[in-house]
Structure 1
Amino acid sequence: MNLSVAHLGPPGTYAEAAALAYVNWLTRETGQQSLLCPYPSIAQTIKAAAQAQAHLAVVPMENSVEGSVTMTMDTLWQLSGLQIQQALVMPISHALLSKATKIGDIRTVYSHPQALAQCQGWLEKFMPSVQLVPMNATTEALHYLEEDYKAAAIASSRAAQLYNLPILACPINDYPDNYTRFWVLSLEPSPGGSHTSLAFSVPANVPGALVKPLQLFASRGMNLSRIESRPTKRSLGDYLFFIDIEADARQPSVQSAITELTKYTETLKIFGSYSVVSV
């Protein structure tokens, strides 16, 4: 039976490229065949795996320029049961796609908010007067370009090939070292690895509410490679925290820290331990 792998669509997105890289690796390692399943949003992609509509979901988690993808974080917190199978780090190179004869003719640029933000400096320099329109995916608006010669989209060079669209400029991202980390999610137990991700809320917003949980890891010599807050959406100033630990949750020291962590947290979710690979 083929594995179904959910990702943000339409075809040609960076999430699809990450999903392709993962399933190609899976085929080489295990011989398992996979079927890619595009979804119209990151939230729906994650829910497809959480509701067993797909075996796996590949979603963007963090960009080296623009930071975390909040939709991924918020949706993962709201759902239960999903575990990280692997993290994929992929270089991102943005291109300007359009049927306009020259950049000066373009009046509107479409793309995902992350892509627009990653190209903000270039757009301000070369296209300061264009209207920027955020979309659910980098490829969502490509069909507009067939008829509107004053429109453009920021997407990948692969998307230009898939949709037979000209590239007017590439790369246009502000920083050459532009990487996105994707998570492979599943209802299956996590396999273990070099990193562990978790999230928690604290009982009350009082002094020391965050310090005590963090000291549990510092006292055991564990490095935190990421810590980020997100609003709980219950009240202003009420936050939950996402943490990445450079250790495997199966290690006794990590298990001890997590056990003690429950004393200081209101809700604690362990998303599993996994390896990080470059694709």
Structure 2
Amino acid sequence: MTVSIAHLGPVGTYTEQAALAYASWLHQQTRQETILCPYPSIASTLRAVAQAQAELAVVPVENSIEGSVAVTLDTLWQLDTLQIQLALVLPIAHALLSHAQTLDDIQNVYSHPQALAQCQGWLEQFLPRVHLISTNSTTEALQQLEQDVKAGAISSLRASQLYNLPILASGINDYPDNCTRFWVLSQDCSQSSYHLASQNNSHTSLAFSLPANVPGALVKPLQVFAQRGINLSRIESRPTKRSLGEYLYFIDLEADINSSAVQSALVELTAQTEILKSFGSYNILGMRD
């Protein structure tokens, strides 16, 4: 059976690059064949798996420069049925692609908001007067560049080859150590061939809401982990979208959910939270660009 992997398209996005790297790794582990299925947004990528249109989704969750990808967290909370199978870390190197002859000819620059933000300093220094236009992905606007020689797009070196576009500037992200973490998610199908069970997962991801916004409401849940010596590698708040000042909290633990310490913590945490969701335990793989 061929495993379908949903990802943010069109062809040439960093997410597709991560999905290809994962597909290669999965084939090495299981000899499993895969097919990549591009979707127009991160939310639709996740919904494809929740609605059984695809078996796996690869989505960005955090960048080393710009932090968390909000739409991934928000959609994961809303869907409530997906589990993280693996995390991938991919180096990100941005380039400005354009048919323009010089930077002075550029009037508009297109890209995903994360890519624009990751190159903000470079854009302010070299293209301070251009219009920055957000797109659903780093490759969405590439096919328009041939018709508009005064436009540029921030994308990857790989995309320049795929779309046969000149590179006007490369290495334009503000910090050289630019990495994005992706999650590989599926429905909770532990018997599936692409689910590689492990007794030693390094991380667990949870999210919870609080019953009331009162002093100490967040401290108590965090103490549950501190008292058991469980380290938190990430904590992120997102609006509940119910009322101003109400938040959801996403946390990553450096521990396996099946450990006795985490199991004990979850029992206590259930009593201190309004809603508690577990997105599973997983390991993290570093991928080469």
Match of 1:23 in 2: 23
Cα-to-partner distance string for 1:110-156 (whole Å, 9 max, x where unaligned): 00000000000000000000000000000000011010000000000
- The residue type paired with residue 5 of structure 1 is I
Match of 1:206 in 2: 214
Indicate the RMSD between aligned Cα atoms, in angstroms: 0.8
Matched, 1:265 2:273: yes
Q: Superposition pairs for residues 134-149 of structure 1, below 5 Å?
A: 134-149=134-149
Match of 1:253 in 2: 261
Matched, 1:228 2:236: yes
Alignment length, in residue pairs? 279
Q: How far off its partner does 1:65 sit?
A: 0.3
Q: How far off its partner does 1:41 sit?
A: 0.1
Distance in 2 separating the partners of 1:123 and 1:114? 13
Deviates more, 1:188-197 or 1:240-249: 188-197
Q: Superposition pairs for residues 180-199 of structure 1, below 5 Å?
A: 180-187=180-187, 188-189=189-190, 191-192=197-198, 193-199=201-207
Distance in 2 separating the partners of 1:30 and 1:137? 31
Q: How far off its partner does 1:94 sit?
A: 0.1
Distance in 1 separating the partners of 2:51 and 2:60? 19
Other structure's SS at 2:229 match: coil
Cα-to-partner distance string for 1:1-46 (whole Å, 9 max, x where unaligned): 1100000000000000000000000011110000000000000000
Match of 1:112 in 2: 112
Q: How far off its partner does 1:103 sit?
A: 1.1
Other structure's SS at 1:146 match: coil
Q: How far off its partner does 1:206 sit?
A: 0.6
Distance in 2 separating the partners of 1:41 and 1:55? 17
Q: How far off its partner does 1:51 sit?
A: 1.0
Distance in 1 separating the partners of 2:138 and 2:169? 16
What residue ranges of structure 2 are gaps of 5+ in the alignment?
A: none
Using structure 1 for the length normalisation, give the TM-score.
Answer: 0.99
Match of 1:175 in 2: 175
Distance in 2 separating the partners of 1:269 and 1:184? 17
Distance in 2 separating the partners of 1:232 and 1:181? 24
Distance in 1 separating the partners of 2:13 and 2:57? 14
Distance in 2 separating the partners of 1:204 and 1:78? 20
Other structure's SS at 2:235 match: strand
Matched, 1:239 2:247: yes
Q: How far off its partner does 1:81 sit?
A: 1.5
Of all paired residues, the percent bearing the same amino acid is 69
Distance in 2 separating the partners of 1:86 and 1:50? 17
Q: How far off its partner does 1:256 sit?
A: 0.5
Match of 1:154 in 2: 154
Distance in 2 separating the partners of 1:11 and 1:118? 21
Cα-to-partner distance string for 1:218-256 (whole Å, 9 max, x where unaligned): 000010000010000000000010000000000011001
Distance in 2 separating the partners of 1:85 and 1:27? 15
Matched, 1:80 2:74: no
Q: How far off its partner does 1:167 sit?
A: 0.4
- The residue type paired with residue 223 of structure 2 is Q
- The residue type paired with residue 6 of structure 2 is A
Distance in 2 separating the partners of 1:80 and 1:173? 34
Distance in 2 separating the partners of 1:86 and 1:104? 43
Distance in 2 separating the partners of 1:253 and 1:242? 19
- The residue type paired with residue 218 of structure 2 is L
- The residue type paired with residue 98 of structure 1 is S
Distance in 1 separating the partners of 2:10 and 2:65? 24
Segments of 4+ moved more than 6 angstroms: none
Match of 1:69 in 2: 69
Matched, 1:215 2:223: yes
Q: How far off its partner does 1:91 sit?
A: 0.4
Cα-to-partner distance string for 1:54-112 (whole Å, 9 max, x where unaligned): 00000000000000000000000001210000000010000000000111100000000
